[in-house]
Structure 1
Amino acid sequence: MKNKLYWDYCILLIPNKHILNIMKIAFICLFIFISGMFATEAESQNARISLKQTTSVLDLINIIENQTDYLFVYDKKEIDLNRQISVKAQNKTVAEILLTIFKNTDIVYAMQGNNIVLMKKSSESIPVIQQRTVRITGIVTDEKGDPLAGVNVSAKGTTNGTITDIDGRFSIMAEPETILQFSYIGYMNQFIKVGNSTSVTISMKEDTQTLDEVVVVGFGTQKKVNLSGSVSSVDMSTLTESRPITNISNALAGLAAGLQVTSSNNRPGDDNASILIRGKGTLNNSSPLVIIDGMEGEMNSLNVHDIENISVLKDASSAAIYGSRAANGVILITTKTGKEGKLKVSYNGYVAFQSIRPGVLDPVSNYADYMEYINSGYNNSNQALPYSQTSISAWREDNGQNPLKYPNTNWIEDTFSTGVGTNHTLSMSGGTEKIQFYGAFGYFDNPGVLENAGYRKYNARTNINAQLTSWLKMGMNVSGFVGKAEPGNAGQSATEAGEQASVGAFTWGWATSPAMILRHDGRYGGIQNVEDDVSESGNNVLKVLNSTKGENTTRNIKSRFHITLQPIKDLSVTGSYSYEYTEQGIKTIPVFNDVWDFGKDQIIFKGEGESYITEKEYKRERNYMDIVANYNHRFLDDRLGLTAMVGASQEQYKYEWFNVTRKNLTAPNGTVLDAANGQISTGGNMTQWVMRSYFGRLNLDWENKYLLEFNLRSDGSSRFLSDSRWGYFPSGSIAWRMDQEEFLNSTDWLSNLKIRASYGSLGNNSVGNYSAISSYGSANYVLNNGVSTGWAITALANAGLTWEKTKVTDIGFDFGVLDNRLYGTFDWFNKKTEGILIQLPSPLVHGSATTPTSNAAEVTNKGIELTLGWRDKAGDFDYGINLNYTHVTNNVDKFKGEDYSLNGIYMTKEGLPINSMYMYVADRIIQTDDDLAIVNDMLAKNPDAFSQLGGVPQKGDILFKDLNGDNKIDPTNDRDMVGDTNPKHMFGLNLSAGYKEFDFSIFMQGVIGAKGYLNEKYFTSTVQRGYQITKEIAENSWTDGMTNAKYPKLTYQTAVNNQANTLWIQKKDYLKIRNIQLGYTLPKSVLSKVQLEKVRLYGSLENFFTFTGYKGIDPELDDLSYPTMRQAVIGVNIEF
């Protein structure tokens, strides 16, 4: 026989595949503005057969083996193989066919994995009905209430068993104390004690870690159990069921080992996260490649409810098929497609109440206290005091009774409000055997927590797949979205829209004092104390947020058309063409608002200025086409499996922009350029690149135990000159499925054990489009004693410029025990990137032209990844625990020899991690006479001890360490590498539980080992009249007589304490409770009365709790950026 099965596993233990629940989720979407409908291909989870003929049992067995992965095991003496049977099966599962042809015979069958055992009923298999036995009947369904056919129902510890019929019903004789076991491929085993019940209903929970799980890989899919590379799959249910996901990138935090997600900005519409796979592996762009339905794209452009699955390719074996862009890993996203069956409609919606984390920054808002703190700083710097005791006393005596005259404004509380966001997605899917479709429409409104700075988005998607003939299949996938940012979100910066609403809010808000009233009675207020700098009244942050009108609209359309031919058995050829176009238009017109002194009820500043109108337009266009051939066949009596794939692709990308500004609007309400008649200024540029690729993959397996995979990709890029244009990226991997060996077959507790290893080369072409050639630009030169303008070389070329190459070694294993209730994976990796592009030191003879980049640096990342989980179900209660952990270290192996580069406090040097911090080492705050004696002793030994600090430190100042012991503090000898910003440990933990119709989960994520430098404008002991100060600094800074101060004394200006030093370094370790949710699904008995398939109500808390010692806005943010929003959510999922 093809495979050997132990008979004690076979007898009436009959796990079977689930009859496919045809048609899931959906909605009709015919949208004119996206020009049609769109589709991606889906894989059926269950083998199905269509057959209408009279044949023999033997011929039917051969048909099933040829059309599925099943193998039959039987004794020819027991089975009448020549018996003629009439089969009429239209898209039926194998279980359904077998139930029909062996009905009313003495033949039974058992399914174990991919093996089907046929046997004659024995007397032992017929239970002896004793006097105390009772008949137990029931129905078995999936989590959605649909019946499951072929579920094995057995009395635990006996051979007494049966299987469920087409309607999921069963009947079995058992004693009252018997424990019934329910087992089914793709679902978790369940146990129930009979007791006094004679009728039971069992809901089977899907086993998401089943060995038959299919994982999306580059240009195809593979069974997870047969993977020899390192691939993580993201459980989409954790993203779509109950979480208020505003973008996908931020939502991925903590969901997969090796995936480092850092929120860099949370502004609505631009709340993208920084993603690294296995750490920062290069000095240049370290972002992974994102592939959406076969073409590179931006994941945040998607509606999360349209996503079917996400795969993260982490090692060379899995990612090498993408060659020159895969050095930083690959994220594959596949959108949903339709499935055969009746029409089903789904609605997902929620309302989210948004706010910022309490205590963010926490400025001193009591103005009397504020004035005293500022006076203290000026006094410590021997400066005249800016505030009189009269003003201080007046504010103290009023004690908040007259807030219009004596305000005590907390600008954080008055600026950041509570937003109410909503999200709605309506989808429909269905189809016939020949054609299937999926369509969806979504609306998303995210007002955020800053007024006039929200974002709205409309998106649509439609997928169509058509099986035109037995050898021809076609499909299309079309999607689009329109995003609109509010005027305060459009900004006035010429660089990027939204700067004003994010960083600008903090910039302007911090340049105010508590004496400013932000707004009253619809009017904007100014400084209410003449001793303040009244000119700073224009910094009113609410006024700034409302000082712009206009629009910021992004439109995107993306389409993919594909056709698949199957000229012969086991061979398919697919060709596809994809096109994406994105256009962003920004219009900015200033709004001039008056600023009031409410105490005097008069205008301080009149809202006036030079009017103008600015229009900007950004266009991105991408064309992609490929052709891929796949061959899959088994040889040598199915012992040797071969899968081969070869393909070619070409991609073109074009980006262009322009802006026009015209001054002097002739009409106050004018919104077009012709409404102005003043000076015109313009700008613009265009850039493009092209890449052609050839690629292939070969998979071999022997008896599904020994697995080999080889990949090769060749890329040619227009970014490099002809001699260096092509790069070649090979990889290979091997794996051994030890659990398939005979010596482990008798090990009941072992479900899965696989050892794997891979090695290969990846590339990175993230360089400028024209870095390999010289650039020219306008420049001034002297001629005849005059200055003239001409053209000159502004950047020198390096004709030998080529790809960065990353060599990755990965060794790992996967395991599952106790019916996969306990499961896990482990990986060790070594990732070395060579030929990193940097600018080397060059002689001055080059002149002012930029020196060329060279492939000269090397970086190594090493680390481990661990995923560990447990899931189980006992009666109506189920629960699960999933932990993922990543440890990564980083080192610059080769850079500029003894030389280094310094960007502020961040150093790049051989032997150090990327983003190493380089600064003075704080020894102590000088607080006692003994501390001051150290300063005097250094001065006695070297009068120039502190000459390079701009002053001699006094009590309350920071004393730096003299690292080289020469009694002099200087930047050359006394600065040191004091840590880096890279986290060393990253983890995610998900806990879930369910009882009957209730479900609960909590998801947390965190990092350990990262450091941050916090001596910013809002966190410093340097104070200035009219600028905010935090309570943390004000209440813990040194004052005369203190011996345990956390921070130096307040000063107006001091060169000593403003030097970058370790006192301001803080750990950025954190634990975030990303999501807590509680849900309730209405019982099937209730829904059947209103003809609904599913109704689930839930409440959810997103980003509500953060545990950290970091004093900044957020441990994920490096600067004054839009803070992370907490969200309290109420939502509903409905399926018709």
Structure 2
Amino acid sequence: MILKQIKIRDVINRNCLLVGLPFISMGAFASVPSFPYLEKIPIQRVLNSAGSAVNFQQQIVGQVLDAKGQPLAGVEVRNLKNSSVTVTDQEGRFKLNGSSSDQIQFRLIGFSTKVALARDVQALVLETNESTLDEVVVVGYGKQKKETLTGSVSSVRFDESTVSRPNMNLASALVGKASGLNIAQTSGSPGAEGFDLLIRGKGTMNDASPLVVIDGVPGALNDVNPNDVESISVLKDASSAAIYGSRAANGVILVTTKRGKGEDFTVTYNGYFGRQQVAKNIDFITDMATHMELVNESEGREKYSAELIDTWRKESAAGNPLYPNTDWYKEMLNTAPLTEHTLSVRGGGKKGNFAMSLGFLDNKGVVDNSGFKKYDFRINADTKIKNILTLGGNVFGTWSNRQPLDVNSFFGAIRNTTPGVVPQYEDGRYGGEMFPGLPQGSNPRAYVDNIRGDYERQKLGLKFFSIVNFMENLEWESSFGFNYNNNRNWEYVRPYSLWNLQTGLEYQKKPSVSSLFNGSIRNYTTVLNTLLRYRETIADNHHLAVLLGFDQQYNRMDKFDAKKNDILGDDAIYILDAGANLEAINGSGTDDALQSYFGRLNYDFKGKYLFEANARYDGSSRFAKENRWGFFPSFSAGWRVTEEEFAQPLKAIFDEIKIRGSWGKLGNNRIGDYTYQVVYGSYLYPFGGQLKQGVAPKEIANSKIKWETTTIANIGLDLALLNNRLTFSAEYFDRNTSDILTKIPIPMVMGNFSPPWQNIAEMRNRGVDLQLGYFGKIGADWSYGLNGNLSFLNNKVIKFNGNRSINESYITMEGKPFNSFYMLEFDRIIQDQSEIDQLKADGYTFGTYVGGEPKPGDMLYKDVNGDKVFNEEDRVVKNYSGLPKVTYGLSLNAGFKGFDLNVVAQGVSGVKQYWGNDGFNTFNINEGFLQNAEILNRWTPENHSTEYPRLRTSGSALNTVYSDYWLHNTSFLRIKSLQLGYALPKEASAKFKVDRLRVFANLENYFTFTKFKGYNPENASVSYPLMKQWVVGLNVTF
């Protein structure tokens, strides 16, 4: 028997750790003293004892790979028996104490968690799982596992389908992706796409936009190419945001850009080409004869003769160019091309990593002379020096150029004309007034053709950082960030002539003289911070993490602009000295500083009981010394119920049940740089019979102003089922902002000053956020996923000194939503004179506010206060403020072999907006303006309509007074993005010498379901409409 040939001493020496026996350590070897009785021990007993000893001290060694056989670095490896933990190195390898029979858990963001016996981990493979991509989320100054997160954070991942969309602004890629985040696109203007972002409503009467932090430095979403983004975190409650203190009262959006991850050298190209057009046009009347008839009807007289109208109708039908029926939308709006291309390179190894990208965007614009181009680059790199020191940096830059046409004003100007104006005649002359003495408006074609200029923006951002690892669980990080913006613009307007093409006479020159405007805005921001991080595990069960930090930020902005008239000629359109007359010259500069001390403490016991505390102490130059500093703490706790012994039966259904809650305070200092100080301006004053230059205060100062303070309470429930494929989150929040800074009117006896800022208001937002996610597979070929979010919001002004403030159709008052609509209530459209006679017989009178006594076809309003007088005293406060009470989003994705389908939808409900411009102005004819085709459904003596009133002239107030008749439901559901892609099989891609090749087609903003009749339900007063776009493109990885 082989066992009998083995010497007992050899067995002991090899195993070194015989329980109960002393041993002598000699370098890397161990031996035992010579004891005679050892020779008498039965060999089986020695082997059993040695085997037991070896199992107790055994070191488990293995490697973790992905489905392609590539090593996975950074995988958390945990022994579920003794709780020892490590992570895999760059080659996916690890070492861990334990025995071959222990269960080992492997976890990594983007992959399914896996548990295996220690004896089976020599080449363990992790499978990707989209449902767990947010297991690790970025938080302020660090990262946290989602399982131990106690704050309210929504994480948005960026994949191929996201970067393949025509996202002119990074905000567009976030639409519909996160609960509690409402994003409204207010303009489609190239290079100036307007996005209003609110996290859990509007919490202040001042700037309520969230803080945006890009790789640790404050910035703007449009500074980032979506192709460079790794992930975005939305911090919504005080626990998650308090680490940013006074800048975080309205929430925080953290953008993390891509870095190399010790991977092979890879090159990626993402690009598309497509076309765009206005998503929705207003249907204007384009028949000039009809236009003149409607003007006559509104005037109640024959302003345009029947003979002229008949002649126009006949000549235009015969194709006579001197009698046009111009469709100005078709004339001025194009189907315009757009394209974007990004080339990225990433790589790295044990000593360092890098990521670089170059991007180009070209958006021609649907209106001539309104195009936009942008070039951008980004370099992220870091290197390790002897595992003690890490040095790194980020550099990014953008250069953009927007053509000079003020497109927002253009869409207002395009209405200031009629179908009877010729855009441009064959000989190049611009058409104008055909009827001397009668207003015919402008010529949009001439307006567009005679403006030149550029709006150029240059931005450079730098960040350098160092991380010193004093020991395994203690590190010191310091960084310096610098952002520089240089905005320069010039605009030259050349006079042009408008001609009466029927008479051949020039009748008007617009503008009367040429002009040149030059302006620049330069600003820079510096950010210096230092962080100390410490982690400790005590007795395997107590996990502690501490963060301490200091932050110093400084901002500076300088502005200058000048305008001259009577420019020498088109050859001198860049040179201010070429102007004869100086019209204006202005210059200013501002600066502000913020200094902060902050800290965070995280603790958990066995990953079961969770606690976090944050604190920040901010000092802002925007407040006087006695109120300069503010302290902003937060606390949160969580309980992972499924980790309890009594809850183990629940694990048959639930993978995770977590209950969490938080409370904290945040500040807001977005009130201007010199609000507490007396600011002086330059004025002229009479002295000695002449006007002299002098200075005087511009507004009344208030040195007592202090921080706005936002207190947020949050309660949440997180569930995971079906092996984490189904996740659900529900949260209730109560957000109260006190000491809100605002102004109330002052008596004129105080002088012509702007009122002082005062801490006089309080506002509350309460609501619920719901989020649901599911990821599944059908067989080997089908995969699908769904992510939905739904948010409910209730806004109310709790306190407002002065009780109320009225601004035309809006009012701010206690107990109502901020900026509630304030207006008359519509009763009905009067159908005949008998109704008016009866009202007068009953003692009713009509005040000047409602336009005096109505006539048949006019609106009648409700006598709310019952005094039998129709006037402004009958106005009521509506429970709508233009902000939605319900927002929701839905993302769907499905895959079959190489095909993928991705859909993003957004929607709002419980919102109304006032439809001006193309609304009430439609029925008050303003001669020389286009007329909305809705006018054809008006009341007439022959058509007693109950939908629209009769026509009036533009000076009439009867049907245009602020009333809920024009308060329209602007709820909508929009399919924001619909994308179909196909990735070639590996074998086919290899024929093109690439690792991966995907083609795709995308529709953006193509389908909107709403009852609203204006341009865009997201903003009823928008002047530049939303664009709908189709693109086709490629994703290639080399």
Quote the residue 1:666 is aligned against.
568
Give me the whole-angstrom Cα distance separating, in 2, the residues matched to 1:238 and 1:1073: 19
* Superposition deviation, residue 991 in structure 1: 1.7
Q: How well do the aligned residues superpose, as a CA RMSD in angstroms?
A: 3.0
SS at structure 1 position matched to 2:570: coil
Q: How does 1:887-906 map to 2 (within 5 A)?
A: 887-897=792-802, 899-906=803-810
Q: Does 1:1000 align with 2:1000?
A: no
Quote the residue 2:345 is aligned against.
428
Give me the whole-angstrom Cα distance separating, in 2, the residues matched to 1:236 and 1:991: 14
- Out of 905, 916, 926, the position equivalent to 1:1024 is 926
CA contact (8 A) 2:469 2:475 kept: yes
Give me the whole-angstrom Cα distance separating, in 1, the residues matched to 2:566 and 2:433: 33
SS at structure 2 position matched to 1:980: coil
CA contact (8 A) 2:165 2:1002 kept: yes
Q: 1:931 to 1:462 in 2, by over 3 A?
A: same
Quote the residue 1:514 is aligned against.
419
Quote the residue 1:728 is aligned against.
631
- Out of 60, 63, 79, the position equivalent to 1:71 is 79
Q: Does 1:982 align with 2:888?
A: no
Q: Does 1:47 align with 2:47?
A: no
Q: 1:752 to 1:915 in 2, by over 3 A?
A: same
Quote the residue 1:83 is aligned against.
none
Question: Partner amino acid for 1:957?
Answer: D
Unaligned runs of 5+ in 1: 1-13, 24-43, 49-67, 76-88, 116-141, 154-158, 169-183, 188-204, 489-499
- Out of 723, 745, 766, the position equivalent to 1:819 is 723
Q: How does 1:739-818 map to 2 (within 5 A)?
A: 739-746=642-649, 747-779=651-683, 789-818=693-722
Quote the residue 2:104 is aligned against.
111
Give me the whole-angstrom Cα distance separating, in 1, the residues matched to 2:551 and 2:524: 17
Give me the whole-angstrom Cα distance separating, in 2, the residues matched to 1:609 and 1:890: 50
Q: Does 1:486 align with 2:403?
A: yes
Q: 1:666 to 1:708 in 2, by over 3 A?
A: same
TM-score normalized with structure 1 length = 0.81
Quote the residue 2:255 is aligned against.
333
Unaligned runs of 5+ in 2: 1-60
CA contact (8 A) 1:355 1:1126 kept: yes
SS at structure 2 position matched to 1:795: coil
SS at structure 2 position matched to 1:519: coil
Per-residue CA deviation, residues 923-980 of structure 1 (Å, 9 max, x unaligned), is: 1110145533443334xx25x4435434211101111111111110121344443632
Quote the residue 1:915 is aligned against.
819
Give me the whole-angstrom Cα distance separating, in 2, the residues matched to 1:450 and 1:632: 58
Q: How does 1:379-778 map to 2 (within 5 A)?
A: 379=300, 384-398=301-315, 400-402=317-319, 404-488=321-405, 500-502=406-408, 504-521=409-426, 523=428, 525-527=430-432, 529-530=434-435, 533=438, 536=441, 539-597=442-500, 605=508, 609-636=512-539, 638-670=540-572, 671-679=574-582, 681-746=584-649, 747-778=651-682
SS at structure 2 position matched to 1:1100: strand
Give me the whole-angstrom Cα distance separating, in 2, the residues matched to 1:977 and 1:74: 62
* Superposition deviation, residue 664 in structure 1: 3.0
Per-residue CA deviation, residues 664-693 of structure 1 (Å, 9 max, x unaligned), is: 333431122233344363111000001100
* Superposition deviation, residue 73 in structure 1: 3.4
CA contact (8 A) 2:322 2:422 kept: no
Per-residue CA deviation, residues 15-58 of structure 1 (Å, 9 max, x unaligned), is: 995549899xxxxxxxxxxxxxxxxxxxx97436xxxxxxxxxx
Give me the whole-angstrom Cα distance separating, in 1, the residues matched to 2:120 and 2:325: 74
* Superposition deviation, residue 522 in structure 1: 7.9
CA contact (8 A) 1:546 1:591 kept: no
TM-score normalized with structure 2 length = 0.89
* Superposition deviation, residue 410 in structure 1: 1.6
* Superposition deviation, residue 210 in structure 1: 5.5
Give me the whole-angstrom Cα distance separating, in 2, the residues matched to 1:548 and 1:731: 54
Give me the whole-angstrom Cα distance separating, in 2, the residues matched to 1:241 and 1:585: 30
Give me the whole-angstrom Cα distance separating, in 1, the residues matched to 2:455 and 2:571: 18
CA contact (8 A) 1:838 1:856 kept: yes
* Superposition deviation, residue 249 in structure 1: 1.6
What is the identity percentage for the equivalent residue pairs of Structure 1 and Structure 2? 34
Provide the aligned length of Structure 1 versus Structure 2: 969
* Superposition deviation, residue 553 in structure 1: 0.8
Q: 1:855 to 1:751 in 2, by over 3 A?
A: same
Give me the whole-angstrom Cα distance separating, in 2, the residues matched to 1:605 and 1:149: 73
SS at structure 2 position matched to 1:390: helix
Question: Partner amino acid for 1:91?
Answer: Q
Per-residue CA deviation, residues 724-776 of structure 1 (Å, 9 max, x unaligned), is: 00000000000011121122334222111111000000000011111111122
* Superposition deviation, residue 113 in structure 1: 5.1
SS at structure 1 position matched to 2:241: helix
* Superposition deviation, residue 362 in structure 1: 0.6
Q: How does 1:356-371 map to 2 (within 5 A)?
A: 356-358=278-280, 360-371=281-292
Question: Partner amino acid for 1:336?
Answer: K
SS at structure 1 position matched to 2:952: coil
Q: Does 1:1035 align with 2:936?
A: yes
SS at structure 1 position matched to 2:476: strand
Q: Does 1:216 align with 2:138?
A: yes
Quote the residue 2:92 is aligned against.
93
Q: 1:268 to 1:229 in 2, by over 3 A?
A: same
Give me the whole-angstrom Cα distance separating, in 2, the residues matched to 1:1126 and 1:647: 46
Q: Does 1:1085 align with 2:1007?
A: no
CA contact (8 A) 2:105 2:114 kept: no
Give me the whole-angstrom Cα distance separating, in 2, the residues matched to 1:258 and 1:903: 28
SS at structure 1 position matched to 2:839: helix
Q: Does 1:1045 align with 2:946?
A: yes
Quote the residue 1:373 is aligned against.
294
CA contact (8 A) 1:438 1:462 kept: yes
Quote the residue 1:878 is aligned against.
783
Question: Partner amino acid for 1:317?
Answer: S
* Superposition deviation, residue 904 in structure 1: 1.8
CA contact (8 A) 2:112 2:132 kept: no
Quote the residue 1:263 is aligned against.
185
CA contact (8 A) 1:631 1:645 kept: yes
CA contact (8 A) 2:166 2:1031 kept: yes
Q: 1:224 to 1:1074 in 2, by over 3 A?
A: same
Quote the residue 2:52 is aligned against.
none
Give me the whole-angstrom Cα distance separating, in 1, the residues matched to 2:742 and 2:970: 29
Farther off after superposition, 974-983 or 823-832: 974-983
* Superposition deviation, residue 777 in structure 1: 2.4
Question: Partner amino acid for 1:675?
Answer: A
Give me the whole-angstrom Cα distance separating, in 2, the residues matched to 1:576 and 1:893: 42
Question: Partner amino acid for 2:759?
Answer: N
CA contact (8 A) 1:1102 1:1128 kept: yes
Per-residue CA deviation, residues 813-868 of structure 1 (Å, 9 max, x unaligned), is: 11110112211111000000000002245566633333321111000000000001
Give me the whole-angstrom Cα distance separating, in 2, the residues matched to 1:587 and 1:788: 32
Give me the whole-angstrom Cα distance separating, in 2, the residues matched to 1:505 and 1:429: 44
Farther off after superposition, 747-756 or 665-674: 665-674
Q: 1:813 to 1:328 in 2, by over 3 A?
A: same
Question: Partner amino acid for 1:1049?
Answer: R
SS at structure 2 position matched to 1:833: strand
CA contact (8 A) 1:386 1:1025 kept: no
Q: 1:216 to 1:399 in 2, by over 3 A?
A: same
